[in-house]
Amino acid sequence: MQDLELKSANKSLSELGINNTAEVMWNLTPAELVEHALFNNEAVLTDTGALMADTGAFTGRSPKDRFVVKDAKTADSVWWGDINIPFEEEKFDALHQKMVEFLTDKKLYVREAYAGADPNYRLSLKVVNTLAWQNLFCYNMFLRPTSEELKNFESDFTIICAPEFEADPEVDGTRQKNFAIINLSKRMILIGGTAYAGEMKKGIFSVLNFILPHEKGVLSMHCSANVGQDGDTAIFFGLSGTGKTTLSADPNRGLIGDDEHGWNETSIFNFEGGCYAKVIDLTREKEPEIWDAIKFGAIVENTRFYEGTRTVDYTNNTVTENTRTAYPIHHIKNAIEPSLAGIPKNIFFLTADAFGVIPPISKLNKSQAMYHFISGYTAKVAGTEVGVTEPKTTFSACFGAAFLPLHPTKYAELFGEKMEKHQVNVWLINTGWTGGPYGIGSRMKLKYTRAMITAALEGKLDNVGFRKHSVFGVGIPESCPNVPDEVLSPRATWDDKEAYDKKARELGAAFIANFEKYKDFATEDILAGSPNL
């Protein structure tokens, strides 16, 4: 195999302590990485040309094995606890040295890339992989420098990812053999014992979630974003199952990105150069953009073929429900590059409320927006997760608690400042149940949800009347184009009005109980957005 290496003349890994390697291949093209992955028996080709790889024992992130080094830089700024688990500086240094020794005589793949489409706020990355397919994942998911930029490329954050290297918990200070450790002072992430590629992507997201708000005054967000033909930007927040990907994928609007963005003084910008989408039960009819993006250069993880073919059976969950694809954003026809656009005009918080309480669309004031942003509410229904037999409230701060190094109120206050400064409309959209809770009511029709979002985007709700919800206080529009008036009031869709009132108070109480852990850090402005019981 001939390797085309793009790097400056003085590039080496010696500054990382990595020497005496068998081979180091820098910035290989997707075609070359596919060749290497096949030659190394890391993966196989599907009939669309995509590369199919398994991630081994770990088919998702391992949150309990993700650590942040506690030192002078982070001790008083990081939100320590179950999400940001502290790790000792000395243990990090010792583990780094063990990894370096492990990489001696290994074949390595190095990728230089960016995170952040705005050049003023981007992070320059160096990723060191032992697996070719994981280096292709990084090519797809991060932003790709030009050949000219690579000549003088200087990285300011490094990932070392060696799935084959396992820690010794008793010696190394980890919980298990696998680990993902972020060192914000040494600007390095160590990943070992797991081949789940999402650890690299989310590791850098966590880094940006520290640097941008804490040091630059830029709001980092776990959201999708698109832009209309007139340049009007919209942002969509929502946990799994709320319709974030579906509702932001609009053929009439350009896709900025599907998962991670920053909001500075002039623009919304994508952190990534690609998309990492779930593919369980994927069909061309349901998700045509994703279906067509899975071609040569793309990766599918933990999927299986129809027997006797190279055709992926997306219904097959024998390995995991969390089957995924990773592809560069230019595989999506309506993606815009560079992936940035102006300040948003509309922001949508998506929730799949299984209790049938939240209105299908409502408008939030600044206090409510900050409160709901911190709450990050949706509900799980029976069958979505082992042990869930009835609707269950789910709260994830800022719609992405697992990736927040700072306290959630820090992000919420920045969100509120930007919302107020730029006079942004914030809407709460319920894609869940109406006419009663799960098991009695029915799921909100997608055509109605799309009509409501379209009306908000086109300014058709600017001059309608609004009335306050009795518990949550949010503004419910009295009319909306292409949506029956009775659908807009959740209480009106219930046969038993008293049962609705009771359920609404119960959900409001659940919000308040969840918010207790943030209460001492929240401003009066944020607390004013609380439900009223």
Catalytic residue numbers, as ranges:
61, 202, 222, 240, 244-245, 259, 324
Q: Residues near 110 by Cβ (< 8 Å), separated by ≥ 6? A: 7, 13, 24, 25, 26, 27, 126, 127, 128, 129, 135
Q: What count of other Cβ atoms lies within 10 Å of the Cβ of residue 458? A: 14
Place of tokens 């450790």: 181
CA angle 416, 419, 423 (to 5 degrees): 145
Pairing between strand 425-430 and 361-364?
Answer: antiparallel
Q: Is the peptide bond before 338 cis (omega within 30 degrees of 0)?
A: yes
Nearest to 366 by CA among 327, 321, 328, 423: 423
- First CA to last CA across the chain, in angstroms? 69
Which segments of 54-117 are extended strands (E)?
66-69, 85-87, 107-115
Residue 74 parent element (H or E) = none
Amino acid at 359: P
Q: Please state, in angstroms and as integers, the Cα–Cα distance from residue 499 to each residue in 49, 442, 530, following that order.
A: 54, 16, 22
H-type alpha helices, 288-365 = 288-293
Interatomic CA distance for residues 187 and 124, integer angstroms: 11
